Amino acid sequence: MSLWNAANGPSVHAELVGRELIKMGYELMVFSSIEHPDARPTNQIDEEYVIRHFAVDTVNPITKAYYFDPTPLIEREYDIFIAENVERLPTMELYQLFPLIKRKAKTIMVVHEGGPSKDPNYYRFDWDAIVCFDKRYLSFIREYFPGDKIHIIPYPCYPYTPGDKKKAREELGLPLNEKIIFSYGFRPGDITKILPPIVKLSKIYPLRYIIFVNPESEYNELIRAKDEHEYEFLDIKISALPFDLLYKYLYASDALLFYRESSPYNAVLSSSVCLTLGSGCPILFNESNYVKMHGNEIIKYKDKDDMKQKLIDVFEGKFNNKHQSLVAEYLRRRDSRAVAKKFADLFNEIYGRGGGD
């Protein structure tokens, strides 16, 4: 039970793990939302196993559904029930159905919350197992749930599948001679903060900065900055970004650029980094707690001057071979195939404690 085919961390997690489980021979059923404030569209077409049966209109201070059809959860048969980011699901309705779910399946909660939930229903569930991504999540979740039920399984990354830059540029109609920086998923207001060093780079290199902005975001500030300052290098695309197109742009680009200020929550990560690292496109991310657990498989920058210099280093090929080997090694241990195998091991473990009813 999760968001699905959405530009959202829990959705990315569910998709990466779920699709690998299918390849391993599992039958997948996805209970998801018709509408949800967190579910920014990706224009992905739902698979036949996706069942949309609830709709959410508010998530603060707690998640409330204005529509919830319990029928799929009641009538469908399943052996494992996994709930992702529970505080953003309709917890009241789910808790009412939980005894029935427990009678037919083993239950697993995947913790995406960055800290203790404000929803009192969150703490009422008796899960068979709880999955968190690293020790930061463990440090708070074990205060509320039994420690022997909690398991650390890393957030999955898309497998290492580097592409052909020349081919991707030709297919996208992009020039071969330009240096291309790519960003997506940004808050448009954050992009304007990092434009000054890119302006300087545009005077050194033939440069294009491609930015995909979600149609539901507030993008007027970015458009205004382009028009007022005549930033000819800015290539703004106001569109959702399905996965295949995302990877084509990553293959075409010299660098993927992120800027995101640290969260007030301690336990956070960047699902975008996990989704895109496998492309082989060098990722530049400011020093932030979103990438605290990452090492040299990404390129961290301290400030605008450091960002400019590291982009130059990328353009000049200083990160090429060694960096790619670091990425490949990192993904070998944490890609979606390795993580799905850990989930399969967990399924076997919790059924080994006595099996289902």
Beta bridge partners of 65: 56
User: At the top level of CATH, which class does the domain 165-333 belong to?
Assistant: alpha beta
The residue whose two tokens read 């930033």 is: 231
Per-residue pLDDT of the chain (357 residues; tens, 9 = 90+): 999 999 999 999 999 999 999 999 999 999 999 999 999 889 899 999 999 999 999 999 999 999 999 999 999 999 999 999 999 999 999 999 999 999 999 999 999 999 999 999 999 999 999 999 999 999 999 999 999 999 999 999 999 999 999 999 999 999 999 999 999 987 777 888 899 999 999 999 999 999 998 887 778 878 887 888 778 899 999 998 999 999 999 999 999 999 999 999 999 999 999 999 999 999 999 999 999 999 999 999 999 999 999 999 999 999 888 899 999 999 999 999 999 999 999 999 999 854 443
Q: What's the length of the chain?
A: 357
Cα separation, 174 vs 216, in Å, equals 26
The residues with which 131 forms a beta bridge, in sequence order, are 110, 151
**Phi-psi map region of 77: left, alpha, beta (phi>0 left; psi -120 to 50 alpha):** beta
Closest CA to 286 of 191, 199, 213, 144: 191
pLDDT, position 357? 37
Looking at the chain, which residues constitute the CATH 3.40.50.2000 domain(s)? 9-156+336-352, 165-333
**Taking a C-beta distance cutoff of 8 angstroms, is the pair 51, 31 a contact?**
yes
Q: Is the Cβ–Cβ distance between 31 and 53 less than 8 Å?
A: yes
DSSP 144-182: TS-GGGEEE-PPPB-------HHHHHHHHT--SSSEEEE
Q: What is the C-alpha to C-alpha distance for residues 253 and 162, in angstroms, rounded to an integer?
A: 12
Greatest pairwise CA separation for the chain in angstroms = 68
Residue 231 exposure: Cα atoms within 13 Å on the Cβ side:
25
What number does CATH give the domain 9-156+336-352?
3.40.50.2000
Q: What is the DSSP letter of 35?
A: E
